[in-house]
Amino acid sequence: MSGRGVWLRTRARLRRFPALLAGCGEQAAAYGRCVAAAAGGTAELRRDACLEEFRALRECFARAVGPGAG
């Protein structure tokens, strides 16, 4: 039994990621802005400082790559 088929399927799935996640640009930008603002200057980035933005991005990713996507 060869593992080649597994790697071929994995590579094919990874190749689809950029196209699938392209629709999450707005959420990614919002999260990036939040992190940059929260860690700017002398401020220390705190856990959960951008939780709302992170959750929105994570949900977008999950919708993009979830069952039936691609």
How far apart CA 2 and CA 9 sit, in angstroms, is 13
Q: Which residues of 12-45 are buried (b: 16+ CB within 10 A; e: fewer)?
A: eeeeeeeebbeebeebeebbeebeeeeeeeeeee
pLDDT digits (tens, 9 = 90+) for 7-41: 898 888 888 888 878 899 999 999 999 999 998 88
**Which residue ranges make up each domain of the chain?**
1-63
Q: What residues contact residue 45 under an 8 Å CB cut-off, 6+ apart?
A: 35, 38, 39
Length of the chain: 70
pTM over 0.85: no
What pLDDT is stored for residue 1 in this prediction? 47
